[in-house]
A and B are shown apart, each in its own frame.
Chain A
Amino acid sequence: MTKRNRRDVFRLGAAAGATVIAGSVRGARGAAPPADNAWSNSLGHGVDGKPYGSPSPFEKSVVRRYVPWLSPTRDADASMTPLQDQPGIITSNGLFFERYHAGLPQVDPKAFRLMISGRVKRPLLLTLDQLMRYPSVSRIHFIECPANGATEWPAAQLNSLQLTHGMIGCAEWTGVLLSTLLDEAGLYSDSRWVCATGSDGAHMNRSLPMMKCLDDCMIAWGQNGEAVRPEQGYPARLVVPGWQGNVNVKWLRQIEVGPEPWMTREETSEYSELLADGTSLGFTWVMDAKSVITFPCPERPLTQGPGFYEIRGLAWSGRGKVRHVDVSLDGGVNFQRARLDHPILDKCLTRFTLPWWWDGKDALIQSRVTDETGYVQPTIVQKHRFWGADPVYGNNAIQTWQVLASGAVNNVQLS
């Protein structure tokens, strides 16, 4: 047997640590003071142990989840962000909701090309390195699927915050303003529309009116401190702030300019709303203001009896900033103004809180956002009056959580 050197001692320490972690997952033995916990009496692994970090093994339940009965196949489906475990306004890249139309493509950045073509004076073909040389901006915006909450149109159906509200995520996006590239290519007077196309198998494409493209759209290559994740469109995606998620085309490969919209499948057959009279609304791009209480919620009940709790939640608007959020504890009879956390940004999640001394009795808790345009989040009854009983998209209704005396929380709808 060879003499142990310093490196071997480190390895032994790491192995001992791993054993202790596995042991403490099973039970809380020895966790209380005055005793030291095992991890306080051993050496953890070093800086070479985990070159790319991951959450604590105790957080392994915090994952994207989906509704298995919604779609016939997982590669044309959506998963939801666990908002019940999102402390602030930024969604972790690994938890950001997914929506695929033909599965997740693994794009080779060396083979990536972005083409600007159609009604432009000077078509452009860019590699990723070239795209990243253009002047850049970094902005925090939410992206929400317009089908977020679709299951809840006819009735309270899913007893979960994640599955009723989790088709949203918020990130710091870094990239090139689309106006920079459109100026570089040069527009004509009839260059009124843009067709953005992805390089996934669906060749997912959407038409966008030129003025929005020039206002604040960007082609993002950065997301929350790293490259845009594959699930979010690596190596570059379109970000269309405040507009329905589907137009934020991922794995972007082409910006085609034309005089009129293309009337793609995703803006005619899908992402349009059939009304009760048989007519339909299309091009309803903007996501209306919405808010939801993220604690307590069905996944995070009140487990410690009556007393002080902080109601926490998120609010947002596709039309600008959140002006205020009001919280009701009695099913919408009376409201109290919640405290908003800074930053309060344009087309971005805003965090709100309200202190609550819970008396241990049943309660019906709600949040209601007002955005800077003065628009007030509606009730589900108000939504039904225009949209009918069973639409698909645009459910931004006030959410009611029923808190029971046991502390359990259920998703309910009120008359």
Chain B
Amino acid sequence: MLAGLALMGGQAGAAPTPPPGSPRGGNAAQHGAGIVSKTDLQVWRAEGDGNGRLGRYKPARRPGYYGIGTVPSAAQIAGWTIAVPPGGADLPSGSGTAAAGAAVYASDCAMCHGAFGEGAHDYPALAGGVGSLGGSSPERTVGSYWPYATTVWDYINRAMPFYAPHTLKPDQVYALTAYILNMNGVTRSDWVADAASVPLVRMPNRDGFDWSDPRPVTHNTACMEACVRPSSIRITSSAVTMHLTPRMTGPVDHMKSGQ
């Protein structure tokens, strides 16, 4: 239903242009500041500098050695620098409330994400599931799973609505952020989303992630003989009995009824 609509529109040849009034340039203070826990910040810094290896890195050439290319203008950089880190750097000016977001949501979002954020037609749910992650049927939604509210703003802005991505105005994105956070009980209905307030929202699952990779967590050995008792080997599942596999020869099988 949504497939392919406007996916190619406007992208080819578009020069980077800035949204009004946005600060740019990867300001360090605005990056990890605010809501990020000290533990996570330490993990990220250690990962980023390769546990100290980065300090010993020697560039092969001085900056500008090859002299190929141009220096982009501030406006060009601003237009393409849309990624918003947890500290809120590069959030544009503008604001929005849940009430304003409800109207945008109804017209642009509800057809896929459901009237109440419950999801529809197998598209993801946005709300619910808070407290479910450790249970037998965990539900991953914006409210239950996403660790940072800035990601909500960022993702709506860059990729939504699915059929016409990056076409909403900053006020609309702020309003949708307020609406979806309120839908999840994370913010109150009168909360105003803007560049200052969004980075300060503490999401329920902020501390639910370990960003340091614990692997290896399996420790198999390259045993060559009598590795397991033959009598212990039992087939626990067989795909041939599942009837989930499309036909693997001839034209691509779309598994549509009547095909």
Give residues in A with beta carbon < 8 Å to B: 61, 63-69, 71-76, 101-103, 105-108, 110-111, 113, 115, 117-127, 130-131, 133-134, 151, 155-160, 162-163, 179-180, 183-187, 189-190, 192-193, 195, 197, 199, 201-205, 209-212, 214, 253-254, 256-265, 268-269, 272, 274, 276-286, 288, 298-299, 324, 326, 330-337, 364, 368, 370, 375-379, 382-383, 385-387, 402, 410-415
Q: List residues of chain B with CB within 8 A of the CB of A108.
A: 12-13
Beta-carbon contact of B218 and A281 below 8 Å: no
Closest chain B residue to A135, Cβ basis: B66
Question: Judging by beta carbons under 8 Å apart, are A184 and B228 in contact?
Answer: no
Residue on B nearest A331 in the bound complex, by CB: B233
Inter-chain CA distance A386–B14, complex, in Å, is 47
Q: How far, in angstroms, from A279 to B208 measured CA to CA in the complex?
A: 5
Among A118, A212, A279, point to the contact of B81 (Cβ < 8 A): A118
Minimal Cβ-Cβ distance residue in A for B13: A111
Complex: A382 Cα to B28 Cα, angstroms: 42
Chain B residues, CB < 8 A from A115:
16, 72, 76-77, 80
Residues of B within 8 A of A75 (CB): 3-4, 7
Question: Which chain B residues border A186 with CB–CB below 8 Å?
Answer: 59, 62-64
Q: Which residues of B contact A336 (CB under 8 A)?
A: 224
Say yes or no: A122 contacts B71, CB within 8 Å.
yes
Residue numbers in B under 8 Å from A276 (CB-CB):
134
Q: Count of chain B residues with Cβ under 8 Å from any Cβ of A?
A: 118
Q: How far is the CA of A103 from the CA of B5 in the complex (A)?
A: 10
Q: Which of chain B's residues have a CB closer than 8 A to the CB of A156? A: 237-239, 242
A173→B66 CA distance, assembly (Å): 22
In the bound complex, what is the Cα–Cα distance between A135 and B165 (angstroms)? 35
Asked if A158 and B59 make an inter-chain contact with CB atoms under 8 angstroms apart, the answer reads no
Q: List 12 A-B contacts (CB under 8 A).
A: A108-B12, A125-B76, A133-B68, A155-B239, A201-B165, A258-B28, A258-B85, A259-B31, A260-B86, A265-B154, A279-B133, A333-B227
User: Which of A205, A209, A332, A414 touches B236 (beta carbons < 8 Å)?
Assistant: A414
Q: Smallest CB–CB gap between A246 and chain B, Å?
A: 14
Q: In the bound complex, what is the Cα–Cα distance between A71 and B254 (angstroms)?
A: 12
Interface residues of B in 208-259 (CB under 8 A from A): 208-230, 232-240, 242, 244-246, 248-250, 252-256
Shortest CB-to-CB span from A299 to chain B, Å, is: 5
Assess whether B28 is in contact with A190, with CB atoms less than 8 Å apart.
yes
In the bound complex, CA of A298 to CA of B246 (Å): 12
A183 to chain B, nearest CB (A): 4
Cβ-closest chain B residue relative to A192: B48
Which residues on B sit within 8 Å (CB–CB) of A64? 252
Q: A413 contacts which chain B residues (CB < 8 A)?
A: 235-238
CA distance A278 to B132 in the complex (A): 8
- Which of A256, A259, A265 touches B155 (beta carbons < 8 Å)? A265
Q: How far is the CB of B124 from chain A (nearest CB, A)?
A: 8
